[in-house]
Amino acid sequence: MHLFDLTGKVAVVTGGTRGIGLMMARGLLQAGASVYVSSRKPDAGEAAAAELSQFGRVASIPADVSTEAGCLRLAEEVGRSEERLHVLVNNAGATWGEPFATFPASAWDKVLDLNLKAPFFLTRAFLPLLEAAGTDDDPARVVNVGSIDGLHAPSLPTYSYSASKAGVHHLTRVLAKELGPKRITVNAVAPGPFESKMMAATLAAHGDEIAASSPLGRIGRPDDMAGVAVYLASRAGAYVTGAVIPVDGGRATTL
Ligand SMILES: NC(=O)c1ccc[n+]([C@@H]2O[C@H](COP(=O)([O-])OP(=O)(O)OC[C@H]3O[C@@H](n4cnc5c(N)ncnc54)[C@H](OP(=O)(O)O)[C@@H]3O)[C@@H](O)[C@H]2O)c1
């Protein structure tokens, strides 16, 4: 079997209906996996599934994963159709920018609930299905989406966001230790700038400048995210766990 082939594997991508999640879902489908995309809005889920269906077997399951109950419901729904889950991509995320002086408590709750607590509760909710999929040779995979803002101090006033992403990176290492014996790897991807709704305003205002100041001279492309998702989900990534992989054109890695 090809090193990067995902035929027969089942994946769930939270926030898979647009942006980085959609890029990763497309990559997983093209490599042969069946993919469930999930986000809050049923319409966005249906539209994404329709767009992605040209690449393989895909379905949408709407869920709000900012509460543990929402995480449990998503796992239960997937469990109705699947006995195993080979790949869980914890990608859904939100940000909040506001000056230090007025940064509200609600911006901590909203961002930490979704960016940091959801990867923990989802991984635990899916544990039986992940354990059923993992083998000594080919462990099940959890891929958390962090950020380069969790690696360095960001330029924007996004206090809870950067703290949540640093937390995701460390949670990745902690869960890698916990779940390795169960034959589940846990890794994080730390993206640099990619086109998405979350990044639209920043890239509209500063995109050229951001690209020009990056060692590789551009922002991220969909294939850059598809590639790292396929690597971490496939036999090629079977011995990698507890890693935080920056995919940033050198922005944070060369600082
Ligand atoms: N774009 C970048 O440059 C960049 C850089 C570094 C890290 N990241 C990270 O990459 C991930 C994806 O970001 P993005 O840029 O692609 O953002 P985005 O375009 O805003 O997409 C966010 C996705 O998450 C879903 N979502 C939001 N709240 C949710 C909730 N409570 N429950 C379930 N799904 C929810 C959204 O769909 P609904 O609205 O339908 O729920 C959407 O599918 C995030 O973790 C982000 O921090 C992005």
CA 194 centroid distance within chain: 13
Rounded Cα–Cα distance for residues 53 and 143 (Å)? 22
Hey, what are 77's tokens?
């729904």
Q: What pLDDT score was predicted for residue 239?
A: 98
Mean pLDDT of the chain: 98
159 annotated active-site: no
Amino acid letter for position 3: L
91-103 average pLDDT score: 98
Q: What pLDDT score was predicted for residue 203?
A: 93
Nearest partner of 154 among 255, 24, 19, 23, judged by Cα: 255
What is the residue with the minimal CA distance to atom 23 of ligand 1? 15
106-110 average pLDDT score: 98
User: Across the strands, what pairs with 140?
Assistant: 184
Nearest partner of 132 among 163, 168, 88, judged by Cα: 88
For 110-147, write each residue's pLDDT tens digit.
Answer: 999 999 999 999 999 999 999 999 999 999 999 999 99
The active-site residue out of 159, 161, 231, 239 is 161
For 202-221, write each residue's pLDDT tens digit.
Answer: 999 999 999 999 999 999 99
Atom of ligand 1 at shortest range from CA of 113:
31
Ligand 1 first shell, C-beta below 6 A: 14-15, 17-21, 39-41, 44, 64-66, 91-94, 114, 145, 147, 191, 193-194, 196-199
92 alpha carbon – ligand 1 mean position (Å): 4
Residues in the chain: 255
The proportion of the chain whose per-residue pLDDT surpasses 90, expressed as a percent, equals 99
Position 195 confidence tier, pLDDT thresholds 50, 70, 90: very high
36-59 average pLDDT score: 98
Domains of the chain: residue spans and CATH: 11-247 (3.40.50.720)
What is the residue with the minimal CA distance to atom 20 of ligand 1? 198
73-78 average pLDDT score: 98
User: Across the strands, what pairs with 220?
Assistant: 194
Say whether pLDDT at 1 is over 90. Answer: no
147-174 average pLDDT score: 97
